[in-house]
Amino acid sequence: MDKKQYYKVLFLFGALYNWIVGITFLVISIFMSFLFPFFFNFELTSPVFLELFAISVIIMGMGNYWFSKDINKNQDAVRMCCISRIIVFILITYYWLIGDLSIYVFLLVIPNLIIGILYIEFFVHSKGM
């Protein structure tokens, strides 16, 4: 597999990851609120922010998908994805460390960091593409 194909698959994988995580949290928020204690160590009085976050993750996945179609376009959008993935990892790690989130949410975000690092690697190697 050449580098271009590798990066296309990488961004498609990033999109799939976002869709799975976003849809999972959206479904849990709407239909299975009894699972909240499994993920959160505090009471959610309203799921609106969880639902907004889930929808944002799904939309970010759409951006990853579109970028996987042509990796020579919209590289600034990928920068945004890199930044958001790393910030989400930092925030979730912080809230896990102070006890607001369960280990399951922390474990769920580790692939997000790995994908973000691989996206950064794309920028390092895409100069000659």
Instruction: Please give the average per-residue pLDDT across 18-41, as a whole number.
Output: 82
Nearest 5°: the CA angle 32, 37, 41 is 145
The pLDDT > 90 percentage for the chain reads 52
Residue 91 neighbours by CB under 8 Å, 6+ apart = none
Number of structural domains, the chain?
Answer: 1
Whether this model's pTM surpasses 0.75: yes
Q: Which domain holds residue 43?
A: 3-128
- Classify burial at 69, counting beta carbons within 10 Å of its beta carbon; exposed 0-12, middle 13-18, buried 19 or more: exposed
- Residue 12: both structure tokens together: 């498609």
pLDDT tens sequence across 31-83:
777 777 777 767 777 788 889 999 999 999 999 999 999 888 878 888 888 89
- Residue 27: both structure tokens together: 């479904």
